[in-house]
Amino acid sequence: MPSYTVSNGLRRVTPYYHDHRTPFKQRWAGRTVGEVLTSELGQNHDVVSQGIALHDIYVTKNNGKAGGPIPIKGTELLTRQLMAHDIIHNLQHVHEPSVIWTPNRTMIPTVNYFDGRSQSLYMMKCGVLILFDNKDILVACKPSGVPTHPGGIYRYNTLLEIVANELGYPVWPCHRLDKSTLGIIVLAKTKLFCKAMMAVFRVHTQLEKQYLARVKGNFVHDKCSYRCPLISVNSSGGYLNVPKEVPTNSTTKFQRLAYLPESDESIVLCKPVTGRMHQIRIHLALLGHPISNDEYYNGQNEINSRKNQIERIIYKNIFEKYPQFAVTGLDAPIPELITVSEFVTPEINTLLENLAKRRTDRDQRLITGKCVECMLPLYTENAHPGIYLHAFRLVHNWLQIDSEGLQTVPHFSFSTDFPSWCPAEKLSYSISHQSV
């Protein structure tokens, strides 16, 4: 692991070299590695040419086939067309973004147990709060603003790498938890146990996740269940983050716990029935109560504001055909899938194109210089602190038949303290055993 520093509430990883491996995609057939890296992966032409000359960029062919892989390096890559079973290797100088790192050093006792065994909390040296630890699992409270696992521009500034660096061995996530979200994440210490736990998380009928959210306005629904397909826009590419057909069964239960008149905000208990990406955030925004500091779905800057505008137009078109998605509790027939392209007009496509151009222009303005080693642009440091969404409680029950008959037996239960933005004294009642 490269060296890192923690100062002024930020965790910074020293720039390092990493061998990125990109498998062949069919749309790249007939194109050279240089064409793909510059046109599709956004790399500088001069940097790519230098990488090929230095053999930092090369291709292996026949991956997964007899006699493979076979490396191809140097000037041959300038004209060789990519084909099936190729892998592009690209040794890059990585400037990983910093993350907010101000872990909570206080530990309020909570009851946490797994398979009937309870355990006390403890804090790792790196500042990650551990709720439960045995030979198979490690249950942590992930800080907000920190990615769970490596991906995209993050590798070592992720929870998995930070924890593994201290433990001296790898861990695997058993479920998803967004970068922006604070709270409980279950990590497995072996791939085999990870597979078993992932199967547990797939059975939503026996698993209960509780989240706390701080949202805009007076959440008037009190108790409700909301079902609506999930649509979001990618501003950097100007496209929708959805498949061709979108499932409509995304459902979240909500309950207002408190209204904060001084800031016109509400504390809401959220229980996702399904567990899709950004589900709670999108559903709250559609109900007119976005998470207060969720820049992605409650955009205040130009780019995210335009992104949200496009999303609202698409949802308006969906609601006109399927009004049952516009409100809570409407009992009406609902299709299992909707085809999103049906609701994307030429005007929306134009807005998407303009959004991508504006995002590119904005990103260019954030460039502060160029790395003398790799010639890649350097950007203004802008670590995001996360949002007011906290994975507060996680419970799994299973059914067991004994002399008393069929009973629900707790398998595991993990919970954390309230986050700093949730005034516990203003909640109308305890939420530890509430059901929406």
92 to each of 3, 17, 177, how far by Cα in Å?
17, 5, 28
* Token pair belonging to 51: 């990488």
CA 420/CA 414 separation, integer angstroms: 19
76 to each of 33, 46, 72, 170, 421, how far by Cα in Å?
10, 17, 7, 38, 58
CA 410/CA 255 separation, integer angstroms: 24
How crowded is residue 110: how many other Cβ atoms within 10 Å of its Cβ?
17
Which residues, in sequence order, are bridge partners of residue 286?
Answer: none
Q: Which of 56, 86, 133, 178 is catalytic?
A: 178
182-188 and 137-142 beta bridge pairing = antiparallel
CA 339/CA 343 separation, integer angstroms: 8
294 an active-site residue?
no
Task: Give the position of tokens 């995002």.
Answer: 359
389-402 and 207-216 beta bridge pairing = antiparallel
Q: Any idea which residues carry the catalytic annotation?
A: 178
